[in-house]
């Protein structure tokens, strides 16, 4: 009899290795957090030994550090600079290639048509929510993005529920964490109890159930699920930031001429770090290239940012010439007009834009500056 979606199990000490093998045997390439280049980087990994056991991170505005843990927790960290966006919506994507004939005409060759089978192992609930946001952007309208659709269909989502938070987290304010309730194939909660290192595994789909079929496990009881929920509740209390979302959209849209934007401009470098690390930003540009012979040309889609001067260029120049106008565009789109477009906020509260801003500009503090005085929270 097969496993059912909505059930939960306990994996022991060797359970993660068995699950890893099951994912690989399903034909997926595993992309998971690994400690590399001073950060928790999402990368292709070949074995459970590549996972960052005993490592965690410490984050603050403009600051990120790895440090050792007192235990061997594998998922005892939060998010690094990478997100699943890098694989589902690649930074550089070949649209097509054109070949000029020797005499007349030209032929077109399709660009990247690959649909790699990626299993995201250990992504956090905020990144799962970010995938949902990108689904709305690329698949929710009258015209679906075929490359994204193909990659998304093959993606396997194994979430690691958060059991602790860092200094720039505010997913609890956005309703995207620290615990995911749906949208995953499997959800793991790592627990240390009575000297045991265990994983509570919740099944969220038929594909997830199939992965667990041959993995050694035992049924989870009510106490196990309570312990998993308590661990996430603890993380919710540890959030380093909060953001009051009630009335935020209206407050931002009413203050487009506020002098606060010029105050931010004095600190903002327009470096685009915030949009590059953001798991939901989707802006891109088209770049046409030609080889030296003039016989082959290519059209590429590349990530772009509303912080670049050329992003809003039209005939006669850029629409947003100042850093103030570009920051205003980013913040008001993320927290206000995104709701008008897609029915939900474009922010999932991961805190990456705060951590990886070179000067530590804090989205929650800037948003709060436009709200009435009662909208307080951690800064």
Residue 64 has pLDDT above 50, yes or no: yes
At how many degrees (to 10) do helices 146-154 and 125-139 cross? 140
Buried b (16+ CB within 10 A) or exposed e, 81-108: bbbbbbbbbbeebbeebeeeeeeeeeee
Residue 90 has pLDDT above 50, yes or no: yes
pLDDT attached to residue 57:
96
Residue 375 has pLDDT above 60, yes or no: no
Burial level of 249, CB count in 10 A (0-12/13-18/19+)? middle
Segment 223-247 mean pLDDT: 95
How far is the C-alpha of 185 from the C-alpha of 203, rounded, in Å?
6
- CA-to-CA dists, residue 249 to 65, 246, 367, angstroms: 33, 8, 10
**How would you classify residue 294: left for phi > 0, otherwise alpha for psi between -120 and 50, otherwise beta?**
left
Burial level of 219, CB count in 10 A (0-12/13-18/19+)? exposed
Q: What percent of the chain has pLDDT over 70?
A: 97
User: In which order are the strands placed within the sheet that holds 296-303?
Assistant: 106-110, 92-100, 296-303, 284-290
How far is the C-alpha of 134 from the C-alpha of 163, rounded, in Å?
25
How far is the C-alpha of 291 from the C-alpha of 298, rounded, in Å?
9
pLDDT interval class at 130 (50, 70, 90): very high
Q: Report the chain's terminal Cα–Cα distance, integer Å.
A: 51
Residue 4 has pLDDT above 70, yes or no: no
pLDDT tens digit string along 254-280? 999 999 999 999 999 999 999 999 999
pLDDT attached to residue 61:
97
- CA-to-CA dists, residue 299 to 64, 225, 270, angstroms: 36, 50, 26
pLDDT tens digit string along 324-374? 999 999 999 999 999 999 999 999 999 999 999 999 999 999 999 998 876
Mean pLDDT taken over the chain: 93
Q: Note the pTM of the prediction, 2 decimals.
A: 0.93
Phi first, then psi: give them for residue 31, nearest 5 degrees.
-115, 120
pLDDT interval class at 1 (50, 70, 90): very low
Q: Identify the bridge partners of residue 199 per DSSP, sorted by sequence position.
A: 11, 190
pLDDT tens digit string along 283-301? 999 999 999 988 999 999 9
Residue 14 has pLDDT above 80, yes or no: yes
How far is the C-alpha of 325 from the C-alpha of 296, rounded, in Å?
39
pLDDT tens digit string along 131-157? 999 999 999 988 899 999 999 999 999
pLDDT attached to residue 378:
57
Show the tokens assigned to 107.
Answer: 């032929």
pLDDT tens digit string along 102-123? 777 889 999 998 999 999 999 9
Q: What does the DSSP 8-state code read for residue 333?
A: I
Segment (H or E) for 287: strand 284-290
Compute the radius of gyration of the chain from its Cα atoms. Answer: 22
Task: Identify whether the C-beta of residue 78 lies closer than 8 Å to the C-beta of residue 352.
Answer: no
């Amino acid at each position: 009899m097969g496993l059912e979606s909505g059930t939960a199990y306990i994996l022991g000490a060797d359970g993660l290795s068995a699950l890893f093998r099951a994912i690989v045997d399903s034909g997926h390439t595993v992309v998971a957090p690994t400690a590399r280049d001073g950060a928790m980087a999402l990368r292709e990994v070949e074995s459970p030994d590549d996972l960052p056991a005993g490592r965690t991170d410490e984050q603050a505005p403009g600051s990120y550090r790895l440090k050792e843990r007192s235990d061997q927790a594998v998922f005892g960290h939060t998010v690094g600079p990478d997100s699943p966006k890098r694989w589902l919506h690649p930074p550089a994507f070949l649209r097509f290639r054109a070949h000029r004939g020797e005499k007349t005409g030209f032929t077109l060759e399709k660009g990247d048509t690959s649909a790699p089978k990626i299993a995201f192992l250990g992504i956090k609930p905020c990144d799962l929510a970010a995938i949902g946001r990108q689904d709305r952007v690329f698949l929710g309208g009258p015209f679906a993005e075929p490359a994204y659709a193909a990659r998304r269909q093959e993606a396997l989502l194994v979430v690691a529920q958060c059991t602790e938070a860092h200094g720039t987290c505010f997913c609890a304010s956005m309703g995207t964490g620290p615990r995911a309730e749906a949208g995953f194939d499997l959800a793991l909660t790592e627990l240390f109890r009575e000297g045991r290192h265990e994983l509570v595994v919740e099944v969220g789909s038929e594909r997830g159930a199939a992965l667990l079929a041959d993995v050694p496990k035992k049924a989870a009881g009510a106490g196990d699920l309570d312990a998993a929920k308590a661990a996430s509740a603890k993380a919710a209390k540890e959030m380093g930031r909060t953001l009051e979302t009630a009335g935020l959209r209206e407050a931002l849209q009413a203050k487009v001429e506020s002098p606060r934007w010029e105050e931010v401009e004095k600190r903002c470098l327009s470096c685009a770090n915030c949009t590059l690390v953001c798991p939901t930003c989707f802006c891109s540009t088209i770049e046409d290239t030609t080889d030296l012979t003039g016989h082959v040309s290519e059209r590429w889609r590349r990530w772009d940012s509303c912080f670049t001067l050329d992003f809003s260029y039209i005939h006669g120049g850029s629409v947003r010439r100042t850093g103030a106008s570009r920051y205003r565009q980013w913040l008001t789109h993320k927290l206000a007009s995104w709701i008008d477009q897609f029915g939900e906020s474009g922010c999932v509260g991961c805190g990456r834009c705060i951590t990886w801003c070179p000067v530590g500009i804090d989205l929650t503090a800037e948003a709060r500056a436009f709200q009435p005085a009662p909208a307080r929270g951690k800064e």
